[in-house]
Structure formats: C-alpha cells, structure tokens
Amino acid sequence: MGEVRVAMGALSGGLTSLWEGRRFITSDESSWLAGYHVMEADLRASGDLLGSRTSLWLRIHNITDTAYESMRLYPMPPRHIQVGIHIRNNAP
C-alpha cells in the first residue's frame, strides 16, 4: 500500500494505492484468486461557516474501475463516489 497526502490552506487531499498479490483458495495451492491493484482519491475543504467548524469531503473508490474479488465469487464494487459534510458546533 502506498499513500500520498497534500495540504494547502483549507484544502487537503490524497491518493492511496493498494496492491494485492494472488491468493491461494485451496489447501494444495492448485487454485487462486488473481492479484489486483486499486486506487482511491480524496479531497477535503475545511473552514468556519456560521460559527461552526465545517468540512466538506469527497472520496472516489476504485478509480481505475478494476474488477476484482477479495473472496471467491464475491466481486468488489466498481468505481463509486462518497460525499459528506461534517459540522462541529463550537459552542460550549
């Protein structure tokens, strides 16, 4: 796994890369799942909004839309996006 993070003022983001080699699924090692490589990216903007600390974030999973399985016959999701907001009230 490798990761690169950057931050500049109220913006931050990163790129994560995961490599998984082939995995044997039989005790005699005659059958296996293929290895795979997937990547994720994220971006966050933080600041104060109406007296509350607010963060907006975006995360893209499986950027390359790789078809892969972590368990035999259970495919993992294709490329997908998550979006969120986090609001923390600064009042005592």
**According to the model, what pLDDT value does residue 92 have?**
60
pLDDT recorded at residue 51: 83
- 3-state SS of 2-67 is EEEEEEECCEEEEEEEEEECCEECCCCCCCEECCEEEEEEEEEEEEEECCEEEEEEEEEECCCCCC
pTM of the model as a whole: 0.81
Predicted pLDDT at 89: 85
Residue 56 belongs to a domain with what CATH number?
2.20.200
* Domain extent for 51: 2-89
Report the domain count for the chain. Answer: 1
Q: Output the tens digit of pLDDT for each of the chain's 92 residues.
A: 899 999 999 999 999 999 999 999 999 999 999 999 999 999 999 999 888 899 999 999 999 999 999 888 999 999 999 999 999 987 66
